[in-house]
Structure 1
Amino acid sequence: MNNITKSHAADDSSSFTHLPDEMVLEILSKLIDFKTLCLCKLVSKRFCSIVHQVNTLCISSSIDASWECYWSAMLCLEKFGRLKSLCIQLPSFFDKNHLLFNWKIKCGNGVDSFIFLSPNSVYQDKQLYVKANGHQEDEAEELDSDSEKHDIAHEWLEGVFLTILLLMNPITNLPLLEDVAIADSFEKGRVSLNGEKVAELRNLPHSFSDVTELLKHYLNTPRRLSCCYVPLLELPFSGYVMKGVTLYIMGRNDLPAENFDSFMNIDLNDFKDKKEAAYSEAVMEILKKHRGDIKTIGTRL
Structure 2
Amino acid sequence: MRAPALSAADAPARGPLRHALQALWAIVARELFKFARQYGRLVSALVRPVLWLAVFAAGFRNVFGVAIVPPYETYITYDEYIAPGLIGMVMLFNGMQSSLAMVYDREMGMMRLLLTAPLPRAWVLFAKLAATAVLSLLQAVAFVAIAALLGTTLPLWGAHTPQVLAAAVGGALMLGALGLLLSVHVRQLENFAGAMNFVIFPMYFISTALYPLWKLEEAGARWVFLAAQGNPFTYAVEWLRFALYGQDPGWAPWIVCGTALACFTLACWGYDPQRGFGQLAKRG
Which TM-score band (shorter chain)? 0.3 to 0.5
Query: Which is richer in strand?
Result: 1
Which one has the largest radius of gyration? 1
TM-score, normalization by structure 1: 0.34
TM-score, normalization by structure 2: 0.35
Does 1 or 2 have the higher relative contact order (CA < 8 Å, sep 6+)?
Answer: 2
